[in-house]
Amino acid sequence: MVTVNGVIESNPAYQVQPNDDIFYDNQRISIQSNTRIILLNKPNRYITTMKDPLKRKTVMDLVHTDERLFPIGRLDKDTTGLLLLTNDGQLA
Are both 78 and 60 inside the same structural domain? yes
Give the pLDDT of residue 59: 96
* pTM exceeds 0.75, yes or no: no
Catalytic residue among 21, 52, 61, 76: 76
Number of domains in the chain: 2
Amino acid type, 88:
D
The domain of 11 spans 1-30
Per-residue model confidence (pLDDT) at position 1: 82
Same-domain check for residues 13 and 41:
no
CA distance 31 to 52: 29
21-71 pLDDT, tens digit per residue, is 989 889 888 777 788 889 999 999 999 998 999 999 999 999 989 899 999
Q: Both 8 and 44 in a single domain?
A: no
SS (H, E, C) 21-69: CEEECCEEECCCCCCCEEEEEECCCCECCCCCCCCCCEHHHHCCCCCCC
Same domain, yes or no: 21 and 61: no
**In CATH, what number is assigned to the domain containing residue 71?**
3.30.70.580
Q: Are residues 41 and 75 in the same domain?
A: yes
d(CA 52, CA 63): 15
Cα(69)–Cα(84) distance, integer angstroms: 10
Separation between Cα atoms, residue 85 and residue 51, nearest integer Å: 14
Same domain assignment for residues 21 and 43? no
Residue 52: active-site member: no
In a shared domain, residues 21 and 40: no
